[in-house]
Each structure stands twice: as C-alpha cells, then as structure tokens.
Structure 1
Amino acid sequence: MFERFDDSARRTVVLAQEEARMLNHNYVGTEHLLLALTRDPGPAGQALTALSVTRGDARDHIIEIIGAGLTRTNGHIPFTPRVREVLENSVRFALQCADSNVRSGHLLQSLLVDDESVAALTIAQSGTTLEAIGDQLTDLMTAPEPSATEPEPRFVLSA
C-alpha cells in the first residue's frame, strides 16, 4: 500500500510512529497520526494549525485522556485497526481526487471521517470541528498553485 504514498504521506506515517514512541505507546493510533499531521508543512498541517489544532495542545490532551506509557517501546509498533482503515481510505480519497499518489492531505481527509476516534476527540477539544478542518483542507488542496513570477525586466542604459 505504501508504494502509492508520496514523500509527505510516508513522512507522516514515520512521524506517527515516532510520536507513539515518544509517548511510550506500543501501538500507532489515530492520535499519533494527528500529531504527525500537525508537523506537516503542507495543506494538512496548515489546515490544522489555521484552526488552532497544534501539536503541543493535542499532545497534552492525548496524555490527559490516554496517558503516557511507562516503558520505552522498541522495534516494530503495530497500527491499530482504525489507523489501518485511515491508511486504506486515504488511497480512496486520492483516487477520488484523481491523484495517483496519496498525500498527507488525503491522510487527514481520511482521519476526519471517524468522529469517535481519539484524534476526533482531540480536535473537538481544540475548539473546532472535523467539518471546519475538512473545509479548510479542501480549500488549501484545491487552491491553484502559485505561479512562478517572472523576474523584473532589467533595464540597460546605453549611450
């Protein structure tokens, strides 16, 4: 499945694993994926931070409701069934957008579908809604690419 993921989506998955390790969790859940997406420089991260879903606040909320593990987790950390579903659905979102690759924005779109996940609870705690983030993400993902501006003409004075 990951062969369809672009660099931003692959980086997000790796960061989600890193977030799980930093919290000493022995699984990668939707909350870890959310934390990773807050670190994304693209539309996913921009949509979250524009609506006040920040890594620090989200992490604090996750620790409050789940806690941190007591022992460091080494080696492979498995995905929860919900995260596997998010990853699979992100491929569908990419195809619906006529994209050949899954981007981090597709991961966020897919994450927003499940309103009972820890990620959804964390987003709600930030004072926004899944719908508002989805709308913001759509606007950012469908915005036209900024065109490269041509350099200003150079004036050459000749005598």
Structure 2
Amino acid sequence: MLERFTSQARQVVMDARAERRRLRHDFIGTEHLLLALLDERVGAAGEILRGAGLTADGVRAEIERQVGVRPGGLGTADAEALRSIGIDLDAVRDAVEGTFGEGALEAPPQPGRRLWYGRRLPSSRLSRRARKALELSLREALRLNHRHIGPEHILLGLIREGQGLGALILARAGVDLDDLRRTIEELPPAA
C-alpha cells in the first residue's frame, strides 16, 4: 500500500509521527493525521481544512484538551538544574538521537499481538483507528479510480473511519463531514 502513497501523503504520515512525539503520545492517532493534514505543504486537503476554519494551533489545543500531553522524564526544573551546572538537556537529547537514531530515548513499542500459532504481529506506533483510516484511504482512492493515495485520500479515510478523535475534532469544529467529503471528491485527481 505504501508504494501508492504520493510524497505529500508520505509527508503527512511523517508529520503525524512528529506530532505524536511532540505531544509525547504513545501512538499515532487519527488526531495526529488530522493535524498533519493542516500543514501548508499538503496542498488541496490542507486548503480545504483551513477553509473550513481549522488551524493547526486550534486542533493541537483540542488534542491536548482531549488527550493531554504526557510529561517527559525530566521537567523544566530538572532542565534548569542541569543547565546551572553546564549541561544542556536539549543538546544531550540531540546527541543521543544523532548517534542512535530518532526516538532512541523513547520507550520501545509494545510487542505485537500473539497469533494463535505462536507468531507475533509486528508492532506499530499507529493506533488501530489510524491504521484503519490509512487502509480506508486506499479504498477511497480505488473507489475514485485514482492510481495513487494522496493527502485528500487520507482525509477521506479519516472521515470514513468516523470514530477517531480526528473525526470528533472535525465535528466539534462544526465541519459537516458529508460536505467535506463532497468537496474533496470534486477535486481533480492529482498526478
């Protein structure tokens, strides 16, 4: 499925991952996908969302209100205490991630579910609903006879999934999901 994603759609997933990390959430949820879709680089899907009155700051605030931000291992007071003795916590984090890779300081994801015959499914940082929304984006692209999956298909998948926090945020913002779907479907297919 990932081979059908346009570079913009891949960027949406990468940005959703970055938002998950910024908010210190365990999984990428539909709310992170929605937040990533508001980026100006996304194109038409982002323009439609911004035209409906959504802003990245507003969506981020609603996510924080609904889910919260998980505190990091060290608080502001800890960082100040370390800074007073010449240790820059941000520089230490950057050095560790530069050496061992992005997310090296995060707890490892939980192992995948065990199947009945003993094997494990691979672990993912995608929530069940976010994974479903991305699967539905493929179905939406196929339904529209498009050969690719773009950000607009991810938005359609998020709407079609309908139960995640992303859809709830859209509804609470007063966005009519049926009108949003029709507007997206009227877009000419991207190359």
**TMscore range, shorter length:** 0.7 to 0.9
Contact kept, 8 Å, 1:58 with 1:126, in 2: the verdict is no
1:144 to 1:80, Cα distance in 2 relative to 1, 3 A: closer
Moved more, 94-103 or 23-32: 94-103
In the TM superposition, residue 143 of structure 1 has moved relative to its aligned partner by 8.0
Q: Which of 137, 142, 154 is 2:188 aligned to?
A: 142
Q: Which amino acid aligns with 1:132?
A: D
Does residue 104 (structure 1) correspond to residue 105 (structure 2)? The answer is no
Contact kept, 8 Å, 1:90 with 1:106, in 2: the verdict is yes
1:52 corresponding residue in structure 2: 53
Q: How many residues align?
A: 144
Contact kept, 8 Å, 2:132 with 2:161, in 1: the verdict is no
Superposition pairs for residues 84-103 of structure 1, below 5 Å? Answer: 84-103=131-150
Across the aligned residues of Structure 1 and Structure 2, the Cα RMSD in angstroms comes to 2.2
Contact kept, 8 Å, 2:146 with 2:189, in 1: the verdict is no
Gaps of at least 5 residues in structure 2 are: 74-101, 110-123
User: SS at 2:59's partner residue?
Assistant: helix
Does residue 11 (structure 1) correspond to residue 11 (structure 2)? The answer is yes
Contact kept, 8 Å, 1:90 with 1:109, in 2: the verdict is yes
1:92 to 1:144, Cα distance in 2 relative to 1, 3 A: closer
1:7 to 1:143, Cα distance in 2 relative to 1, 3 A: closer
Moved more, 12-21 or 120-129: 120-129
2:103 corresponding residue in structure 1: 74
**TM-score (ref. length: structure 1):** 0.82
In the TM superposition, residue 125 of structure 1 has moved relative to its aligned partner by 2.1
Distance 2:69 2:155 in 1: 24
1:22 to 1:144, Cα distance in 2 relative to 1, 3 A: closer
Task: Note the alpha carbon deviations across 1:139-159, whole angstroms, 9 max, x for none.
Answer: 3x23899xxxxxxxxxxxxxx
Q: Which amino acid aligns with 1:113?
A: R
Does residue 118 (structure 1) correspond to residue 119 (structure 2)? The answer is no
Contact kept, 8 Å, 1:115 with 1:130, in 2: the verdict is no
**TM-score (ref. length: structure 2):** 0.69
% identical aligned pairs: 31
Distance 1:144 1:33 in 2: 20
Gaps of at least 5 residues in structure 1 are: 146-159
Moved more, 72-81 or 16-25: 72-81
